[in-house]
Amino acid sequence: MIKPKDGKITLYGWVENIRNLGKLIFLNVRDIHGNYQVTLSKERNEELFGKASELKAESALCVVGEKKENQKAINGFEIIPDSIEIITVSEQPIPLNLSEKVESSLDKELDFRFLSLRKPKVAAVFRVQSTVSNAIVKFFSENGFYQMHSSKIISQATEGGANVFSVVYFDKTAYLAQSPQFYKQMMMAAGFEKVFEIGPVFRAEPHHTSRHLTEYTSVDLEMSFIDSYEEVMSVMEDLMISIHKELAEKNQRDAELFGKKIELPAKPFPRITIREAGEILKNYGKSLKEDGDIDPEGERILGEYVKEKYNHEFFFLTEFPWSIAQFYHMRKADDPGVTCRADLIFKGLEITTLAQREHRYEVLTKQLVEKGLDPEKFKFYTDFFRYGVPQHGGSGTGLERIVKQVLGLENVAEATLLPRTPDRLVP
């Protein structure tokens, strides 16, 4: 942090490295915004020079001095100090190499997260994530959505499956929410028309992949009085464009650290039905899964196909089969084997699932039974639909996956401050 004061400059930060040339010492001091050169001359201030020569790497300090132009220095200026306050001394050796020239394993980076975050590229990831989060709130606020905060302790698994974390809730068993799905729809029943939420969701899935976490941040929206799920897709297009606009204005330098340039996606995003996807994949010696769904490799191939054909990094995969749908998804009236569901794919990775919901009580309860679920266990949810619910739809998007794809990271855990996986519960 830099603060101007009384014609001087005050710099708070951490000592990244020290170069002692005998009569000159160059301190490379780092803060969240970047690096700065502090230059000390033994001739100018021998006492201060001696103090600086005893500094340890990664110690926190405060430097007060004169800002002097120097084109050879970082940022085109150096700081000539009048005083140096050593706030805290760092123990040695540092357990994690903080040089960008030395790669550490992801596990070690995460074990020492408080240190890895001092690395410029790692810090850039979370500056980008902050911009994305703020852009999302700004977009929804400007477009008439109400922000909501639903409970994460629930009585019934949202998806009706087994991939939930159970918790002891006094004398009962409760679950950590897989999604705010039911409560978003409750707000539609309540007449709020457009809502959004950004919050944690939990999936007890024993996956060990570069795209899965057991806890991630979900960006959810729900909107009423829609004619089709195309309206939800349109909102998602506008949201992604808004996010990229904010990133282009605020985080272009962060993206450049990863060899990326932030560019605004064009609207409309291409649409490909799941049936069309199956035909396209055949040309690449690939097919859909036996259940009619698509696997990660299929998403990647289609991402490359869309980039080549449409010069677009986004596309919607639409019209998923009812056989793999959730019970609350609406089926197409003219083709009940197909649902009004779409996935948004960004650079070959699914980041969003969206759908129009079934809002008719009788149809919804029938679909529960079709999926082998007990309507009595979902009564608290289905009761919403007994008293007049408009047609509605919504989506859920992984915040960390957006950041991963923007920067081209290899693992979604890199875009997560404190990742939770089947093998990681600390820090």
Print pLDDT tens along the chain (427 aa). 888 877 799 999 999 999 999 999 999 999 999 999 999 999 999 999 999 999 999 999 999 999 999 998 888 999 999 999 999 999 999 999 998 778 889 999 999 999 999 999 999 999 999 999 999 999 999 999 999 999 999 987 766 666 899 999 999 999 999 999 999 999 999 999 999 999 999 999 888 899 999 999 999 999 999 999 999 999 999 999 999 999 999 999 999 999 999 999 999 999 999 999 999 999 999 999 999 999 999 999 999 999 999 999 999 999 999 999 999 999 999 999 999 999 999 999 999 999 999 999 999 999 999 999 999 989 999 999 999 999 999 999 999 999 999 999 999 999 999 999 999 999 9
Return the pLDDT at 406.
Answer: 98
Distance CA 18, CA 307 (A): 46
Q: Residue 114: name the closest of 58, 170, 164 by CA.
A: 58
Spatial distance between the Cα atoms of 20 and 39, rounded to a whole number of angstroms: 10
Instruction: For residues 214 and 204, give the distance between their C-alpha atoms in angstroms, rounded to a whole number.
Output: 6
Provide φ and ψ at 160, rounded to 5°: 75, 10
Contact assessment for residue 194 and residue 145, using Cβ atoms and an 8 Å cutoff: yes
pTM higher than 0.85 for the full model? yes
Please give the pLDDT value at position 159: 63
Give me the pLDDT at residue 162, please.
67
Contact 153, 176 (CB under 8 A): yes
Instruction: Give the Cα separation of 420 and 110 in Å (integer).
Output: 11
Chain-centre distance of CA 385, in angstroms? 33
The C-alpha torsion from 197 through 234 and 130 to 122, rounded to 10°, is 120
| Run of H or E residues at 197 | strand 194-202
Angle at 153 between CA 151 and CA 156, to 5 degrees: 110
22 burial level (CB within 10 Å; 0-12, 13-18, 19+):
exposed
Which tokens go with 305? Answer: 């196909």
Residue linked to tokens 């779409």: 342
Instruction: Please give the domain boundaries of the chain with CATH numbers for all domains.
Output: 2-88 (2.40.50.140), 115-415 (3.30.930.10)
Q: Are 58 and 15 in contact (CB under 8 A)?
A: yes
Cα–Cα distance, 32 to 1 (Å, whole number): 7
Using an 8 Å Cβ cutoff, are 82 and 66 in contact? yes
CB of 339 closer than 8 Å to CB of 329: yes
Instruction: Give 266's contacts (C-beta < 8 A, 6+ positions apart).
Output: 312
Phi-psi region of 22 (alpha: psi -120 to 50; beta: other; left: phi over 0): left
